[in-house]
Amino acid sequence: MNKTTPKLPGTGMRILSFVPVINCFVIIYLGISYVDKLTLILGGAYFLISLIFPDVSPLIWLAVVIHYIIFYQQIKKKMMEDRKVPSENITVEQIKNTLPEKQSFSDITISGEVENKQTIPEKGTSVTIPFTVSVTYHNPHEEFFEDIKKYADKKGAEAIFVPFMSYWPSYRSMSGPQRKWYFYWRTEIRKKNYLDTDLSYIFIYIYELLNGVGYQTPGEGYTLLLEIWEAYREAFPKLNNYLYDWSFDFAYLNGIEPSFANYESSFHKASFVTDTIIEQHRQDVPLKLSFELVDALCDYSIKGSKFYQSGYHEVMKEAIPRIVSLADAFLRKKSQPGLLETFGPEQAITKERYLYRSALCPQANQTISVTVKEYSSAPQLRNYVNQLVRFGENTLREIYGTKGRLRGIEIDEETGKLITSFLKKEYGLIEIEANKETKPAKLELDFENIDDLRKQSDAVRSILQVEDVASEELVVPTKKMLLTEVEEVNAIYKALSENERAFLKKLYESDYEAELAPVDTQTISAINRLADRYLQNDLISIEGERIIIEDDFRDEVDFLFKNPPEIEVVNENRADFDKTLLPEKLQEFVTELLPEQRQSLIAVLTLKEPEIELERIAEEAMTMPELLIDDINALAINLLGDIIIETQLEVVAEYAVILKKSLRGE
């Protein structure tokens, strides 16, 4: 071969052509070696683009590989034309052997003929080798979005209900009979006929609304979201966890004024939505917060208290907001700012908010910047409201003569006397009338006939001006509140560690009280964390230097130790996190996880397809897989500032590496 005849790049050059960044220099080298200005310029361009725009580096890498293949084929073609040596057909297997072993960057199909050094008859012709490169990208939710449009106007004939439960349900996760039921049910929903159905069907319908299907204007879509929420919230309380935020996000994105009346009477939690609603009441004099908003500002679960659950819920719903208003008015009378200004945050903050968290719609998990005062997570405000509510409930318990008192309450004497005076004057008559009844199963009160008595509380009413909640009927419940949470207390006990169980038993054997030692605080926190999950309240309170089992749950604790449940022997080889290997924030996060949440996180972290394991964990915990994931992400947002499990059931990369290294017992 003449010296001017080009040579094919060697094996080393072919290997380097697959190495990111370095392959740019391979193209530059080829441009210089083969005196190809275009290749030289493109090689430099590839390198500069990779350097300036790192996000497109994978595409540049692919372009360089394709460029190398094209250049290689051109050189080879030129060599064959120069030599004028014909070629013979060879097998596909031989072609494969001429390619690098791994070509994971894309699907490459190379067909045609290549040179063989053995001479063959003269009539042969030179061969060109055409090739195609196909690159595919799959969005796991893309099919669902396409199906939403496809089935937007589909109507369903009458069909038989078929149960349906699925993690992130979609049309393709339904069987044929399930799809028939869904389209029939949806047809009826659009006629305002809300048939009984399963939660997964409801979620598909909600996803349709979030994707703009089923209505003409955003205002109509917002109304439909509120209607489906209202129709099924009682049957499926977990809908509150989602639609509380999703409907607000929908209104925000579409420039719709939220219907605050719907949120006032709704479930509440510490969130941007709750803070926005509370801000609407900042100018109220005195402060008028609904019962639900007060509950959202209180660490103590009002609805979880035995007093509330024993038939006194109507009294509590009326009295608690009035107590908060009374305290606000009292602060103002002392020439101080109101309750929100005194104990709430001083400054509004701007933070990132995740839209449509865990929903299936294009905007899901995108972030926006919002500015608001974080009332619902302000420690001083929450603590003060907590004390007001607990003190008020104790006073009502005393008025009604019910058993047990809430512990660990600290409130200033002046405010305490004011609340006690107010409640006894406002609700003391109910106690008197109830005690006079010989058959006290039910007592009806005509509030118009007791106006004279209410006027006697003018000294208090001069401070407090709140609207009375209309009450046509009050039920005087039985005073006995025994063993109503045995199952929940047993569940707490089973979930405790051996040391925590021993601590609880020692406290029980000390007549429910003991001196507080500094080392006890972590154990108490662990027990109360589980109590909050199962009882929505603390099991153990701290009063000064003493620790006390709450009065409400002493009967259950007594029953527990007299009838101890069987404790499952924990497999020592079960996977768990070694917290000593985690940074401080992740340590706190892992510590706060409930047992079923921790198992779920480990399943997502270690299994390629964790859905089956998540279903098993959720079934044991009497919940749903999506709720487990949402609760884990909610905790992660609070402690880490970001979700930790993505919608594709994968742990966020920056946390996955650290958490996997800390796993033990796999």
| pLDDT tens-digit series, residues 118-148 | 444 444 444 444 444 444 444 557 888 999 9
Q: What is the pLDDT of residue 463?
A: 44
Return the CA Rg of the chain: 35
Instruction: Using DSSP, state whether 605 is helix, strand or coil.
Output: helix
Q: How far apart are CA 280 and CA 197, in angstroms?
A: 36
Long-range Cβ contacts of 150-158 (<8 Å, 24+ apart): 151/183, 152/208, 152/213, 152/214, 154/183, 155/183, 155/187, 156/180, 156/181, 156/182, 156/183, 156/184, 156/185, 156/186, 156/187, 157/184, 158/184
Pairing verdict, β 107-110 and 131-134: antiparallel
When pLDDT is cut at 50, 70 and 90, the band that residue 197 belongs to is very high
**Identity (one letter) of the amino acid at 309?**
Q
* Contacts (Cβ under 8 Å, ≥6 apart) of 507: 513, 514, 540, 547, 549
Locate 229 and state its tokens. 């929420």
* Contacts (Cβ under 8 Å, ≥6 apart) of 106: 62, 65, 133, 134, 135
Residue showing tokens 């008025």: 399
φ, ψ for residue 538 (rounded to 5)? -70, 145
Q: How far apart are CA 236 and CA 180, in angstroms?
A: 22
Instruction: Using DSSP, state whether 474 is helix, strand or coil.
Output: strand
Q: What is the pLDDT of residue 67?
A: 79
Q: How far apart are CA 552 and CA 305, in angstroms?
A: 8
Q: What is the pLDDT of residue 574?
A: 62
User: What mean pLDDT is reported for the chain?
Assistant: 78
Q: What is the pLDDT of residue 266?
A: 61
Segment 241-253 shows an average pLDDT of: 88
Q: What is the pLDDT of residue 261?
A: 63
> Quick one: DSSP state of residue 553?
G
> Quick one: DSSP state of residue 577?
E
What H or E segment, with its residue span, contains residue 349? strand 349-354
Q: How far apart are CA 485 and CA 557, in angstroms?
A: 10
Segment 475-500 shows an average pLDDT of: 72
Residue 248 near residue 359, CB atoms below 8 Å? no
* pLDDT of residue 663 exceeding 60: yes
Locate 311 and state its tokens. 């038939």
381-395 confidence digits (pLDDT tens): 999 999 999 999 999
* pLDDT of residue 483 exceeding 60: yes
The closest of 273, 231, 226 to 249, measured between CA atoms, is 273
Of 387 and 64, more confident: 387
Locate 50 and state its tokens. 């990779």
Segment 219-237 shows an average pLDDT of: 92
Q: What is the pLDDT of residue 418?
A: 93
The closest of 11, 16, 18 to 58, measured between CA atoms, is 18
The DSSP code sequence of 368-436 is EEEEE--GGG-HHHHHHHHHHHHHHHHHHHHHHT-S---------HHHHHHHHHHHHHHHHHHHHHHHH
Of 447 and 407, more confident: 407
**561 C-beta neighbours (distance < 10 Å), count:** 12
Q: How far apart are CA 513 and CA 493, in angstroms?
A: 18
Instruction: Using DSSP, state whether 352 is helix, strand or coil.
Output: strand
Stretch among 137-146, 254-263, 495-504, 518-527 having the lowest mean pLDDT: 137-146
* Contacts (Cβ under 8 Å, ≥6 apart) of 50: 20, 21, 24, 56, 57, 60, 61
Q: How far apart are CA 504 and CA 524, in angstroms?
A: 9
Long-range Cβ contacts of 521-529 (<8 Å, 24+ apart): 523/499, 526/496, 526/497, 526/500, 527/492, 527/496, 527/500, 527/503, 529/592, 529/594
The closest of 360, 364, 413 to 391, measured between CA atoms, is 413
Sign of the C-alpha dihedral computed for residues 528, 532, 535 and 541 taken in this order:
positive
State percent of the chain over pLDDT 70: 76
Pairing verdict, β 650-651 and 546-549: unpaired
* pTM of the model as a whole: 0.58
Q: How far apart are CA 443 and CA 246, in angstroms?
A: 42
Report the phi/psi class of residue 19: left, alpha or beta, with left for phi > 0 and alpha for psi in -120 to 50. Answer: beta
Q: What is the pLDDT of residue 263?
A: 63
* pLDDT of residue 322 exceeding 90: yes
Report the phi/psi class of residue 494: left, alpha or beta, with left for phi > 0 and alpha for psi in -120 to 50. Answer: alpha
Stretch among 229-233, 430-434, 561-565 having the lowest mean pLDDT: 430-434
Surface-to-core class of residue 659, CB atoms within 10 Å of its CB (0-12 exposed, 13-18 middle, 19+ buried): buried
Residue showing tokens 């799809």: 179
* pLDDT of residue 274 exceeding 80: yes
Locate 574 and state its tokens. 């079960």
Of 32 and 293, more confident: 293
Segment 241-255 shows an average pLDDT of: 88
Segment 572-576 shows an average pLDDT of: 63
Q: How far apart are CA 219 and CA 366, in angstroms?
A: 22
**Identity (one letter) of the amino acid at 327?**
A
* pLDDT of residue 80 exceeding 90: no
Instruction: Using DSSP, state whether 650 is helix, strand or coil.
Output: strand
